Amino acid sequence: MNEDASLLKARPDRARKKWVWAVLVAALVLLLALSVFLGRYPQVGFLRLSQLRENLLAQLLVVNVRLPRLLTALLLGMVLAASGTVFQMIFANPLVEPGFLGVSQGAAFGAALAIVFFSASAALVQGMAALFAFAGLGFSYLLARRIRVGSWLLRLVLAGIAVSALFSAGLGIVKYLADPLRQLPEITFWMLGGLASITWTKFLAILPACFLGLTVIFAFRWRLNLLALDETTAFSLGAAPRRERLVMMIAAVLATSAIISVAGMVGWIGLIIPHIARRLVGSDTRRNLPAAILLGGAFGVICDDLARMLMAGEIPLGILTSLLGAAIFILLMARGLGKEVRS
């Protein structure tokens, strides 16, 4: 018994890491609370409580504009970070993000198609973006099954590159056919990403898909570790690696395509946040997935706050996430990206 008890001694770092969760949750709650009051109306900076009580327009602004936008920014960060973690595990590659496998290019192609050929109703642009994002994954998957060289993961990557290239070429054709004064700017703006047009309706429309995707990923978070191992190893551990990877990919792409459909192309979050989470709480996805979700949510909210605050006009969100994401990436590389990654 004594031996058992000594075997069970808690790891010293476990207690030490508890404060990380407290800080992450507290910081996110504080950030959300502050962001509700932050904006450019009635003045640049924070809205005062007295103004919120007395100014009807301010109330409407907070409830109908800022809140849905804030919640979408939160959801966007959470979904992209969680999906990024999923993809980095499934492909056992820390440089993968949820948009590859034809998902991002598919979405862009679908949105452009709707803008140019189908009168650009907002709902249609979203629907087509989500549809083609998923089609990107579907084509990549089916193509990978047809390829006869290399491992399953290599085949998926090859198929993803080919499908992305096809959609990218398709996007080029659609752009070429677009009306340069009316439609082309709209395509360009959509591809830069942004949450300026978010309403409660849009938020509620994407919420079920995002919630479902996040729930499946969260519930599966420990087992995600197994999917980064070699296929035979995962199999010997009692997993069904191909089936489980497919389920996780569908969950991640379901949520990602829902977000892309209303926010356009927002890059880098899915790549950079999982790295920071691993640095913070270790490689075990049981811990770093929830950390990535919290950090991603915070990153999304901060970027969107900056997007609507920094200048009188909006800065497209995708530009900000790329700017900040690339800067953090450079910083991480300079301080040894390989620390949490086997060279």
Partner 1 sequence: MSVNLLSFDHVAFGYSQARPIFSDLNYQLRRGTLSVILGPNGIGKTTLLYMALGWLQPSAGQVLLENRPLQVYSRAELGRRVSLVPQTERQPYSYTVLEYVLFGRAPHLALFGAPGENDELAARQALARAGIPELAGAYVDQLSGGEGQLVLIARALAQEPRVLLLDEPSAHLDLGNKFRLMQTLSDLRRDGTTILMTTHDPEIALAVSDETVLVDGSGSVTVGTPTDLLTADKLSQLYHLPVGALEIRSSHPGVTLRRF
By CB under 8 A, name the binding residues for partner 1.
4, 7-8, 11, 92-94, 219-223, 225-226, 228-230, 232-233, 235-240, 278, 282-284, 286, 339-342
Closest separation in Å from C-beta 88 to partner 1: 8
Q: Side chain identity at 339, as an amino acid letter?
A: K
3-state secondary structure of 45: strand
- C-alpha 81/C-alpha 276 separation (Å) is 10
Residue among 63 and 240 whose Cβ is closer to partner 1:
240
Residue among 71 and 82 whose Cβ is closer to partner 1:
82
Instruction: Please identify which residue in the block is written with the tokens 């640095």.
Output: 279
Residue among 6 and 119 whose Cβ is closer to partner 1:
6
Phi, psi of 39 (to 5 degrees): 170, -165
- C-alpha 110/C-alpha 248 separation (Å) is 23
Tally Cβ neighbours within 10 Å of residue 27. 13
Residue among 69 and 278 whose Cβ is closer to partner 1:
278
Residue among 189 and 220 whose Cβ is closer to partner 1:
220
Per DSSP, what are the bridge partners of residue 46?
38
- C-alpha 326/C-alpha 94 separation (Å) is 15
Give 149: exposed, middle or buried? Use CB within 10 Å, 0-12, 13-18, 19+: exposed
Helix intervals (H) in 38-121: 49-54, 56-60, 67-90, 103-117
Residue among 107 and 295 whose Cβ is closer to partner 1:
295
Q: Is the dihedral of CA 209, 280, 222, 29 positive or negative?
A: negative
Closest separation in Å from C-beta 132 to partner 1: 30
